[in-house]
Amino acid sequence: MNGKPLITIWSRPMEVLEYMRKQVSLKYAVFILALAALATGGYQAGNANLFTNLPLGALIVVLIVLTFVGALISWVIGAALYTWIGKGMFGGHGTFSEMLRIVPASSIPMIWMAPVNYWIIAAFGKKAFMEPPAGSFEITYLPLAVFALVNFLTFALGIYSLVISCKGIGLIHGFSAWRGFGVVLVVIAAGFLIIAAIAVMLVLFFSFAF
């Protein structure tokens, strides 16, 4: 597997996107998602009070697997939505197979969180996964400086990942990154509306059922 995109994503993101569009297979795309899950799943998925009764090693494995499965599902759904909305609403001409190859590029920056995440796990153990009880004045069991640093890095890398997503969508559809950003906004809005509709239906169902 070619590891060059992990480095050049910082200085030449369009080159990486072109490479992933034309040269890589879907196996490589899955490999990138697996690396991202390995890098972030152990900690970022991990405010997981549901699993804190597990040994630390098992907890990390479970969270990595869940993160990877979630990433695979999001990858396929996201690629489909970016393709259909880009074509139907923004006049793009990309294909679903191209979008599948390029979407994982936005996960590459988060791979670089691995040293920070695993240092936190090594230093703080299960505290990295636990949330203070509801009603307490604490927001984390970690030192506030560490908690703030991790969240700042996650936010900053998330912004860069969004930029890469917009550039990738624009590249595949043959329009600007700003239109790519528009596609992302439509997808986010559609997701919010779907979740809101499901929540309303559940509330109505339980209201009438009980």
CA of 45: how far to CAs of 59, 115, 116, 183, in Å? 11, 16, 14, 26
How much is the average pLDDT of 137-153? 81
By residue range, what is the domain housing residue 176?
4-209
Other beta carbons within 10 Å of 192:
10
Q: Give the pLDDT confidence of 76-85 residue by residue, as tens digits.
A: 999 999 999 9
Tokens 């999001």 belong to residue: 74
**Radius of gyration from C-alpha coordinates of the chain:** 19
pTM beyond 0.95: the answer is no
pLDDT at 61: 83
* Distance (Å, whole) CA 210 – CA 203: 11
Strand ranges for the chain from DSSP E: none
Number of structural domains (the chain) is: 1
Q: CA-CA distance, 17 to 106, in Å (whole number)?
A: 9
Average per-residue pLDDT for the chain: 85
Query: How much of the chain exceeds pLDDT 70, in percent?
Result: 88
Q: Please, which pLDDT band fits residue 45 given cuts at 50, 70 and 90?
A: very low
Lowest-pLDDT range of 1-10, 44-53, 122-131, 168-177: 44-53
Convert the pLDDT of each residue in 152-205 to its tens digit. 998 999 999 999 999 999 999 999 999 999 999 999 998 888 888 888 888 877
Average pLDDT over residues 86-105: 93
∠ Cα 52 49 30 (to 5°): 85
Q: What is the pLDDT of residue 209?
A: 61
Residue scoring higher pLDDT (68 or 46) = 68
Which string of b and e fits 114-135 if b means at least 16 CB within 10 Å? bebbbebbeebeeebbbeeeee
